[in-house]
Structure 1
Amino acid sequence: MVQAYVLVQTEAGRAADVARDIAAISGVTQAEDVTGPYDVIVRAQAEDVDALGRLVVAKIQRLDGIARTLTCPIVNI
């Protein structure tokens, strides 16, 4: 199982709507709108890195109101 934080920049005024839409996606365990350089922080999980990439590209990035994402895989040592 691979987990990651996905940092999301949204269009102005869209953070709450985007966080709600992302939270409904299978594989997303948490999505919250925040303040700072990113508007939404998401925690997601998938079976492997390829599946994580598909989750971000095919499901999260395609939502209306998203300007940019940055995926940060969690490293367990």
Structure 2
Amino acid sequence: MVQAYILIQTEVGKAAAVAGEIKDFQGVLSAEDVTGPYDVIVRAEADNVDQLGKMVVAKIQNVEGITRTLTCPVVHL
């Protein structure tokens, strides 16, 4: 199992709607709108890195209002 934080920038005023839509996606553990350089932070999991990438590219990046994403896989050192 691979987990990651996905940092999302949105169009002005779209953070709550984006977080609300993404939180219901399969594999999404949480989706919160935040302040700072990013507007939404998502915690997600998938069986492997390829499935995580497919989730980000095919699902999350297609949500209306998203302008940029940054995926940060969790590592266990």
Q: TM-score, normalised by structure 1?
A: 0.99
What secondary structure does 2:53 align onto? helix
Alignment of 1:15-34 (within 5 A): 15-34=15-34
* Shift in Å, 1:7: 0.0
Distance in 2 between the 1:76 and 1:59 partners? 26
Q: CA RMSD in A?
A: 0.4
Alignment of 1:1-40 (within 5 A): 1-40=1-40
What secondary structure does 1:12 align onto? coil
- Could you list the runs of 5+ residues in structure 1 that have no partner in the other structure? none
Q: TM-score, normalised by structure 2?
A: 0.99
Q: How many residues align?
A: 77
- Could you list the runs of 5+ residues in structure 2 that have no partner in the other structure? none
Distance in 2 between the 1:43 and 1:56 partners? 11
Distance in 1 between the 2:67 and 2:73 partners? 20
Distance in 2 between the 1:35 and 1:44 partners? 20
2:61 equivalent in structure 1: 61
What secondary structure does 2:25 align onto? coil
What secondary structure does 2:76 align onto? coil
